[in-house]
Amino acid sequence: MRLPISDERRELITRTLNCVTALCGLAALALLVVVVGWPLEGELRLLVRPAGTALLAVFVAQEVMRLLVQAHMWRYAKSRFLEMTLALAAGVELLFGEPILRWLGERSQDWPASTVTVLYLAGTQLTLVLLVGLRMLRRSSLLSGRRLSPGMVFILSFALLIGLGALLLKTPQATTGGIGWIDAVFTSTSAVCVTGLITVDTATAFTRQGQWIILGLIQVGGLGVMTITYFFAYFFAGGVTLRSRIALQDLLSEENLGHIGTVLGVIVGFTLLIELAGAIALHTALVAGGMPADGLVFFSIFHSVSAFCNAGFSTLGAGLADPSLEGRVGFFSVIMLLIVLGGIGFPVMKNVWIVLGARLRRALGLRAAMPPRLTANSRIVLATTGILLAGGTAVIWLTEFVFGEGAANGPSLFTALFHSVTARTAGFNITPVEGLLPATAAFMMFLMFVGGSPSSTAGGIKTTTLAVAALALRRVLLGRVDIEAYGRRLAEDVANRALAIILLAVGFITIITIALCALHPELSPADLTFEAVSAVGTVGLSRGVTGQLGDAAKLVLVAGMFIGRIGVLLFLLSFIRRRAPAGYRLPETSVVLT
């Protein structure tokens, strides 16, 4: 039953409850850090459960009060479905906390039931803080004045996640002997940006709990490119102009902005399903190969997530080149499949799924209409990916095994295929990277520079950028007026954007390389260039120089990974306010090019 209060008083109560919710979320975040980072023993253990219960009680109470003061309770509940669901779950835990704790304690081997409960609570509160912050930001003068762009929100969210990850990695339970702040920030950035470069050994420097933290950062960071923009756009959609909505549609590759919420759920569900299937396949391949079962479940989950997110992190000191994995072609094949699926891009996977589903229904006589076709974007992505994989395999096989005597892990052609797949931002290695021949390393830098496809977990300039640049070159060579592909004409602005992306990426890699060479003149310039391309392309392959870098050089690579993950063009555009087009054009002139 709604409370009979005036609109002014309702607004005052709502503002007060917003502050209460934000404070509750900050307290939950602090509790999350305590639970994850410190052993729950003695007095601390006695304080955690009452603190969690108090936060639950406050959260449930403010949600009930928020609902009661609404003029249209049902409409409000429908528009705040996530908060209502979380409030219901919190209420269930308040009423049945002890049975839930006993049930979790019986089934949790690595985590105490109280820890799992508090982690759930802290995650709930953190989600609420993000949601409330978005609403406050949408109504604030900052958003209405400057219209905080999705790119800027994307940058800020990644920066906050990296900071939280570094804080968690610095806690006592995350490492075996402690790491410095620079190494914590570097590792957190590498995980969130799904790069895979490491300054400390993941296998020995971090405890199992620290490796879980890294895995969580990889998962959130990998989903970031595909979902964070979707997530923020979904909550911004009610408070932006039509022009901003059109810009968001282009950014999201989604024709209907009203489907953002559904698309978000599909992406998350698809990602988790593929990662689960990958973990099962990896576990099966390793068990069939006679690998000891101790810790194999976590090993399979970690590498499945790391592969699909194109992260390149491994719990083995030598990566996938570890002697225990030598010759395991089945295991490596699953890794390659996960890498390709993660790097193909959600818009392409969605289009392929719709086309295959429609054709299957038509073949079964369930649909008479013509099935939809692959879009020009999907065809360009699939064709470019196929050419890069096949061409990369051929070139690496020639440079490494035909004209040289490179190391192989399994058949030489299979090793070349794995190198071709992993160089496109995955970062796994089945042979020592520092042992690659110079020609192979040079070609792999090209593959790292290109990367994967848009709206995927991969980095680089993206396959579509390379394809558009090649199509623009074909137009010039053949003297054509338009850029054409698969019976469609590409806008001139697309070619201009592709050129800008390539030039900015080359320029940024050059700056990173010069900075590394200036800071470490004793190291090989070729190896440092390889390192710079790997960082900006968020690949993670290294020729063994990452651990030799000083703090200043590590921070340079942190900047390279962060900006490379965001995209150099998007990063710059997020700080540049677009000016209204002028009402005139300057007289045309010519410039000598050749």
Count of positions (residues) in the chain: 594
Six-digit token pair at 120? Answer: 């759930």
Kindly state whether residue 344 falls inside one of the protein's structural domains: no
For residue 435, give the DSSP letter. Answer: G
Average pLDDT over residues 207-216: 88
Average pLDDT over residues 504-525: 95
Between the alpha carbon of residue 469 and those of residues 41, 326, 450, the distances in Å are 60, 39, 12
Work out the pLDDT band at 287, boundaries 50, 70, 90: confident
pLDDT value for 132: 52
For residue 485, give the DSSP letter. Answer: E
Kindly state whether residue 488 falls inside one of the protein's structural domains: no
Average pLDDT over residues 179-193: 93
Work out the pLDDT band at 257, boundaries 50, 70, 90: very low
332-344 per-position pLDDT tens digit: 999 999 999 988 8
Greatest alpha-carbon span in the chain: 84
Measured at the CA of 471, the angle between CA 510 and CA 469, to 5 degrees, comes to: 15
Six-digit token pair at 532? Answer: 């710079």
Burial of 117 (0-12, 13-18, 19+ CB in 10 A): buried
69-116 per-position pLDDT tens digit: 777 777 777 666 656 666 676 677 667 766 765 665 565 554 444 445
Q: Per DSSP, what are the bridge partners of residue 488?
A: 485
Helix (H, G, I), strand (E, B) or coil at 175: strand
User: What DSSP letter does each residue of 136-158 carry, written as one string?
Assistant: HHHHSHHHHHH---HHHHHHHHH
User: What DSSP letter does each residue of 429-453 carry, written as one string?
Assistant: -SS-GGGS-HHHHHHHHHHHHH-S-
User: What DSSP letter does each residue of 552-592 carry, written as one string?
Assistant: HHHHHHHHHHHHHHH-HHHHHHTTSPPPPPPS--PPP----
Of 217, 113, 210, nearest in space to 157 by CA: 217
What angle separates helix 113-139 from helix 42-68, to the nearest 10 degrees?
A: 40
Six-digit token pair at 160? Answer: 């906050």
Between the alpha carbon of residue 237 and those of residues 84, 103, 134, 242, 320, the distances in Å are 20, 41, 11, 9, 43
Average pLDDT over residues 515-535: 94
The range of the structural domain enclosing residue 61 comes to 1-139
> Residues with Cβ < 8 Å from 288, sequence gap 6 or more?
330
Kindly state whether residue 102 falls inside one of the protein's structural domains: yes
pLDDT value for 65: 81
Kindly state whether residue 371 falls inside one of the protein's structural domains: no
pLDDT at 291 over 70: yes
564-588 per-position pLDDT tens digit: 988 898 888 888 777 777 777 888 8
394-408 per-position pLDDT tens digit: 999 999 999 888 888
Of 335, 343, 353, 564, nearest in space to 453 by CA: 343
Pinpoint the alpha helices (H) of 321-374. 329-343, 346-363
Burial of 439 (0-12, 13-18, 19+ CB in 10 A): middle
CB hemisphere CA count around 241 (13 angstroms): 9
pLDDT at 232 over 60: no
| Rounded distance between C-alpha atoms, residue 457 and residue 426, angstroms | 9
Domain tally for the chain? 1
pLDDT value for 115: 47
More confident residue, 5 or 300: 300
| Rounded distance between C-alpha atoms, residue 338 and residue 321, angstroms | 18
319-330 per-position pLDDT tens digit: 888 888 888 899
CA 421 to the chain's CA centroid: 18
Strand intervals (E) in 402-485: 483-485
Average pLDDT over residues 490-505: 90
pLDDT value for 126: 54
- Asked whether 498 and 465 are in contact (CB, 8 A), the reply is yes
Kindly state whether residue 214 falls inside one of the protein's structural domains: no
- 485-514 in b/e form (b: 16+ CB < 10 A) is beeeebeeeebeebeebbebbeebbeebbe
pLDDT value for 27: 77
Burial of 7 (0-12, 13-18, 19+ CB in 10 A): exposed
pLDDT at 305 over 80: yes
Work out the pLDDT band at 242, boundaries 50, 70, 90: very low
Work out the pLDDT band at 373, boundaries 50, 70, 90: confident
Kindly state whether residue 132 falls inside one of the protein's structural domains: yes
pLDDT value for 143: 44
Average pLDDT over residues 230-257: 47
More confident residue, 414 or 88: 414
pLDDT at 593 over 60: yes
What angle separates helix 150-169 from helix 7-37, to the nearest 10 degrees?
A: 40
pLDDT value for 420: 93
pLDDT at 528 over 80: yes
- Asked whether 275 and 311 are in contact (CB, 8 A), the reply is no
> Residues with Cβ < 8 Å from 113, sequence gap 6 or more?
100, 101, 102, 103, 104, 105
Residues of the chain with pLDDT > 90: what percent?
29
pLDDT value for 264: 62
Residues of the chain with pLDDT > 70: what percent?
77
pLDDT at 213 over 80: yes
pLDDT at 28 over 60: yes
pLDDT value for 19: 79
pLDDT at 267 over 70: yes
Lowest mean pLDDT among 9-23, 93-107, 286-300, 350-364: 93-107
Kindly state whether residue 61 falls inside one of the protein's structural domains: yes
> Residues with Cβ < 8 Å from 272, sequence gap 6 or more?
none
CA 568 to the chain's CA centroid: 16
114-170 per-position pLDDT tens digit: 445 545 555 554 555 555 554 554 444 444 444 556 677 778 888 888 998 998 899
Burial of 10 (0-12, 13-18, 19+ CB in 10 A): middle
pLDDT value for 534: 93
pLDDT value for 551: 92
pLDDT value for 319: 85
Work out the pLDDT band at 34, boundaries 50, 70, 90: confident
Kindly state whether residue 11 falls inside one of the protein's structural domains: yes
pLDDT value for 3: 58
